[in-house]
Amino acid sequence: MNKDDMILVSVDDHIVEPPDMFKNHLPKKYLDEAPRLVHNPDGSDTWQFRDVVIPNVALNAVAGRPKEEYGLEPQGLDEIRPGCWQVDERIKDMNAGGILGSMCFPSFPGFAGRLFATEDQEFSLALVKAYNDWIVEEWCGAYPGRFIPMTLPVIWDPVECAKEIRRNAERGVHSMTFTENPSAMGYPSFHDFDHWKPMWDALVDTETVLNVHIGSSGRLAITAPDAPMDVMITLQPMNIVQAAADLLWSRPIKEYPTLKIALSEGGTGWIPYFLERLDRTYEMHSTWTGQDFGGKLPSEVFREHFLTCFIADPVGVALRDKIGVDNICWEADYPHSDSMWPGAPEELWEVLTANNVPDDEINKMTYENACRWYHWDPFKYIPKEKATVGALRKAAEGHDVSIKPMSKKEKIGTSVQEFAQSAKQVTGNVE
């Protein structure tokens, strides 16, 4: 295999929702109350919903900018690549980056759809369904075989959440985004089994993966509110480590042998030590804590339930056997600042070859595991010979991927405190 022969499927990308997304999917009686994108006198764009204003329409959507312009910007649709919010342009960007498939996490509603929770539960449910109908029918439906569909949960009502999981599974959706820490958002924790049981039942019955994304609860792993942004960025995976521990030791893992959970954008380098620590904890303490995995080690149980992902992560690739090659997927993180777009194939190939990864393991991590875990088959629509990095890039010849300045407004601050002020608008709880 060479670089151009790889088939790349990303299990973690992001979408900046377009202004007309509710038009075709929300009942008419709610259209006037729906979230709306407002173009402000200063040139910025903000999503506004009742008394809530999301101050940054495209938080960190910096693909195509020079690194000097990375940050919490941009503040308007005119400062981002059209591929962030226009599906036709996204496909062009994917082709130019050699990426066959993408699973897109939401932006303005929050990763768990918290923004849509209102005192009117009928209206709230209508918003979630409208979002899900838009992402499945318009975004993913526009290009079959290019997007892994993923829907929002009804996080405030596990019974309705279960119904929505089943509704979407009937149309081929086997992925739902969720928070890594529901208790930080004011909901019962993962350890409240009875509360979440309808959701667990529906996930297992429909073979739907629960994707817990770093930072989705708004509770950031930081040292102090005035710490520089570098502290938050460095510690971001710590959010997912806590979620992995919470879920691994929780009752659903024992009750549902086929439950699948993805640790989205969490990286992989930390996992070998985490698994070692799990087993040590079990060996030393299970007799008095009462933990029982039916004769299995926690590390074995982890590999049965959890999917992990990486962007480059040389350490994780080097230690892939200690993680479990069947538990690793690749991600692009387009259009955020960790993304390697449009040079993902080159950077990924460098890591893979430096670690002497054989072809069969490359295929597992770059696309086969994603297809298997999410019950997604792009090759019903696209022949494999047209799905490779080389073939996709050839189809994108002439598409502009040059790095160019896009900022038109004053740069937003770069401290954790300033970031939190933006994030708090959606999560309602940033600490």
Q: Which of residues 403 and 48 earns the better pLDDT score? A: 48
Model pLDDT for residues 366-404, shown as the tens digit of each residue = 999 999 999 999 999 999 999 999 999 999 999 999 988
Please spell the DSSP secondary structure of 330-351, one letter per residue: E---TTSTT--TTSHHHHHHHH
Q: Is the pLDDT confidence value at 431 over 50? A: no
Give the C-alpha distances (Å, rounded to integers) separating 238 from 65, 269, 329.
27, 12, 19
Domain ranges (residues) in the chain: 3-271+305-427
Name the amino acid, one letter, at 206.
T
Where does residue 45 rank: exposed (0-12), middle (13-18), buried (19+ CB within 10 A)? Answer: buried
Confidence (pLDDT) at 407? 76
Confidence (pLDDT) at 225? 77
Confidence (pLDDT) at 349? 98
Q: Which of residues 184 and 11 earns the better pLDDT score? A: 11
Confidence (pLDDT) at 421? 54
Name the amino acid, one letter, at 267.
G
Model pLDDT for residues 78-114, shown as the tens digit of each residue = 999 999 999 999 999 999 999 999 999 999 999 999 9
Taking the C-alpha atoms of residue 155 and residue 171, their distance in angstroms, rounded to an integer, is 21
Model pLDDT for residues 267-319, shown as the tens digit of each residue = 999 999 999 999 999 999 999 999 999 999 999 999 999 999 999 999 999 99
Confidence (pLDDT) at 219? 67
Q: 428: pLDDT confidence band, cut at 50, 70 and 90?
A: very low
Contact 152, 132 (CB under 8 A): yes
The residue-averaged pLDDT of 146-162 equals 98
Residues, the chain: 431
Taking the C-alpha atoms of residue 416 and residue 431, their distance in angstroms, rounded to an integer, is 10
Contact 239, 221 (CB under 8 A): yes
The residue-averaged pLDDT of 170-180 equals 97
H or E, element range at 359? helix 359-363
Taking the C-alpha atoms of residue 149 and residue 154, their distance in angstroms, rounded to an integer, is 17
CATH code of the domain occupying 3-271+305-427 = 3.20.20.140
Contact 3, 93 (CB under 8 A): no
Find how far residue 188's CA is from the centre of its chain. 22
Pairing assessment for the beta strands 306-310 and 328-330 based on DSSP bridges: parallel
The mean of the pLDDT values for the chain is 92
Model pLDDT for residues 129-140, shown as the tens digit of each residue = 999 999 999 999
Closest CA to 422 of 73, 188, 86: 73
Residues in CB range of 299: below 8 A, 6 or more apart: 275, 276, 278, 279
- Of 39-48, 110-119, 145-154, 415-424, the range with the lowest mean pLDDT is 415-424
Q: 425: pLDDT confidence band, cut at 50, 70 and 90?
A: very low
pTM: 0.94
Closest CA to 425 of 19, 35, 15, 26: 35
Pair of tokens at residue 373: 């875990």
Q: 429: pLDDT confidence band, cut at 50, 70 and 90?
A: very low
Taking the C-alpha atoms of residue 37 and residue 53, their distance in angstroms, rounded to an integer, is 10
Residues in CB range of 320: below 8 A, 6 or more apart: 268, 328, 355, 357, 361, 365
Confidence (pLDDT) at 411? 53
Contact 349, 114 (CB under 8 A): no
